[in-house]
Amino acid sequence: MDGRNGEERIVHEVAIVVPKRVREEKEEGDCVEVLVSELKKRGMVVDRVVGLADEFLKSNVGANYNTIQVAAPLETLGSAAAELHIRKPTRLGIDLPFEVQGSEAFFRQPDGSLFSWFERFHCYQHLLYGIVNSDGYDVTLKLDDKEFCWAAGESLVRRLESEGVIKQMFPLHDELNRKELLKTWALNWWNFTNQPIDQIYSYFGAKIGVYFSFLGMYTRWLLFPALLGIIVQMIDFGSLQFLVLPSFFVSTILWAALFLQFWKRKNAALLARWQINYLVGPSQGYRFIGMEWSSLPFPKELIKNLGNEKFKEKEAYQRYEWFAYRKRFRNDVLVIMTIICLQLPFELAYAHIYEIITSDTIKFLLTAIYLLIIQYLTRLGGKVSVKLINREINESVEYRANSLIYKVFGLYFMQTYIGIFYHVLLHRNFMTLRQVLIQRLIISQVFWTLMDGSLPYLKYSYRKFRARKKKKSEGGPTTGKILIASRVEKEYFKPTYSASIGVELEDGLFDDFLELALQFGMIMMFACAFPLAFTLAAVSNVMEMRTNALKLLVTLRRPLPRAAATIGAWLNIWQFLVVMSICTNSALLVCLYDQEGKWKIEPGLAAILIMEHVLLLLKFGLSRLVPEEPAWVRANRMKNVTQAQDMYCKQLLRSISGEFSSMAKSQQEGAVET
């Protein structure tokens, strides 16, 4: 459903993959026919598409259809939203549960539609899984020679999934909006860092919209240190050279601290513009309004036994909370010990071999092989982290995702930087260090580009090849090329937007954020050794924006919408990398000036230590001096809170007045009777 220009446009947004029927004649109780009938009863628009994919069915004889496209008109979505009690911002400035009769009072999305993509997909899930057997008795369903029972009160979709009738369900691209984004975003190279963020949010959801807004702002801010890095790297300042690197170091730290603070302001402004409400807590960052104790994963026995005595209730929650912390701490220790015992010797061996090799070509090949091996080992560690997290006790999916991010980033942090630290601390060879940084930046960029662009396309092409080969082997045309004309089937062949470590907790943004974080750590922690790295990072990010856009719009399925409204744990990681950068660059300056004899080690070390402490104070001071929200966002929020309080107070007064009036009336009637 699209509401641009005030007109409703029916768009098929969900595809259901079902088997092709072997028999041509329709049977009574055919499960797919029952599904189509029930979908129409729920008010959805259904369309069938024939395809050739061998995954759909083992036989193609007498095929009628193999995919069902589903669209929901505005009335159907509105009814589902009202049943789900979805809270939406109103023109009064407060969030209220959606009601069909008062739909005009609710804010619309930037593209003009009433519901966001996340809300629409939530409604689709409710409509699809809400189809239950309301006849009061079991119904026998059939698919060719297979029969199974649809029990009374059971969800039809879940039953068909368990029987293998529904192969997959996935969201579909909207061709009109997809082509518009291709034109204005993915293929629009002239705008460099400018992106249609509101359109991206409307089409992909808040999480992807926030990511591309962050990437665009980060790339624009990189232009300053990139230009400064070119000046420092290319110009010989003569006798003032010993002051240039400390000045560049101070500038980059202040730049990074300001960037992160202004990103928080940008994020708050985006959420205000998109009418997304959130709470800011000291320990958990941004959190959606509406999470209640009932939604947390406490054991049922604990919930059942609470409420008898206040002290016992408090003690039970505290015991359960510390039990969860203990399990998370145990898993963190396991990850750290694994890194130390298995990965650290491998990293040190690579760094030592690299130092004794004399040929630059062999060094480059060694680095490439090393990075490929370490990528495999780290992904294996990431999958182990997923299994550990599944045994943890976390309050929400957001907490579980953050725990996964911290663990996996710890693995990548060690494999990315431990060899570089070895060069710095033991050899103090700046030329070797600079060579290592150049090689790693180039190889990492090539690797991530291939992973982002080429691998999904190769998967897509291979799946199409298998389908065509299967079609020919089962009696298809022997001459000419078998074409895949259906848009739905093309979507089916495309890979999903998933994380490299698995799809349990995270989508493909996990890898994209990880790539940015590793790049940021590389250019920041060794800024004094290779100032030109900021320029390479800026160029890389401009390409990254377009390749990621093409990946999402062309080579991948439409991602499932996620409700995250900020970059979450990644912001804490970037803050950590800024602090690490202060320490590592201070150590680099000590090594540099001690090696070249510019300063004596005692006064040089003292000056750098003082500068390090001053920068740490400035970094944390800027987080207090620069507000995290723009003034207009705070003013709007206070205005909304005031309006909500006034409205609730008026309702309460009317309710109290009505109760007193009814009481007085009943008393008067009683007095008259007596």
Average pLDDT for consecutive 10-residue bins of the chain (674 residues)? Answer: 60 86 67 88 84 39 60 91 88 80 85 88 92 86 83 90 87 91 88 87 92 95 94 79 84 93 92 73 34 39 48 60 65 68 71 76 80 74 70 64 80 77 69 78 76 77 76 58 66 84 70 90 89 91 90 90 84 92 84 58 64 77 79 78 70 67 65 59
> Residue 283 domain-assigned?
no
Per-residue model confidence (pLDDT) at position 171: 92
**224: exposed, middle or buried (Cβ count in 10 Å: 0-12, 13-18, 19+):** middle
> Residue 199 domain-assigned?
no
Q: Which residues of 490-512 are buried (b: 16+ CB within 10 A; e: fewer)?
A: ebbbbbbbbbbbbeebbbbbbbb
Looking at the DSSP bridge assignments, the partners of residue 149 are 140
Domain containing 408 equals 320-428
| Neighbouring residues of 337: CB distance < 8 A, sequence distance ≥ 6 | none
Q: How far, in Å, CA of 31 to CA of 15, rounded? A: 17
Per-residue model confidence (pLDDT) at position 661: 65
Q: How far, in Å, CA of 298 to CA of 324, rounded? A: 10
State which of 378, 400, 428 marks the end of a domain: 428
Report pTM: 0.83
> Residue 452 domain-assigned?
no
- DSSP one-letter code for 495: P
State which of 146, 172, 198 marks the end of a domain: 172
Q: How far, in Å, CA of 236 to CA of 231, rounded? A: 9
> Residue 354 domain-assigned?
yes
Q: How far, in Å, CA of 178 to CA of 346, rounded? A: 45
State which of 172, 200, 224 marks the end of a domain: 172
Q: How far, in Å, CA of 226 to CA of 523, rounded? A: 10
> Residue 189 domain-assigned?
no
User: Alpha helices, DSSP H only, in 394-499?
Assistant: 397-422, 430-449, 455-473, 487-493
> Residue 460 domain-assigned?
no
Q: How far, in Å, CA of 496 to CA of 488, rounded? A: 14
- DSSP one-letter code for 396: S
* C-beta atoms surrounding 56 within 10 Å: 23
* Among 170, 64, 181, 162, residue whose Cα is nearest residue 493: 170
| Neighbouring residues of 590: CB distance < 8 A, sequence distance ≥ 6 | 601, 604, 605, 608
> Residue 364 domain-assigned?
yes
> Residue 52 domain-assigned?
yes
Regarding beta strands 67-71 and 285-288, do their DSSP bridges make them parallel or antiparallel, or are they unpaired? unpaired
Per-residue model confidence (pLDDT) at position 290: 32
Residues 467 and 52 sit within 8 Å (Cβ to Cβ): yes
| Residue listed under structure tokens 């960052």 | 285
- Count of domains for the chain: 2
Residues 257 and 623 sit within 8 Å (Cβ to Cβ): yes
Per-residue model confidence (pLDDT) at position 55: 38
CA angle 453, 454, 456 (to 5 degrees): 80
Length of the chain (residues)? 674
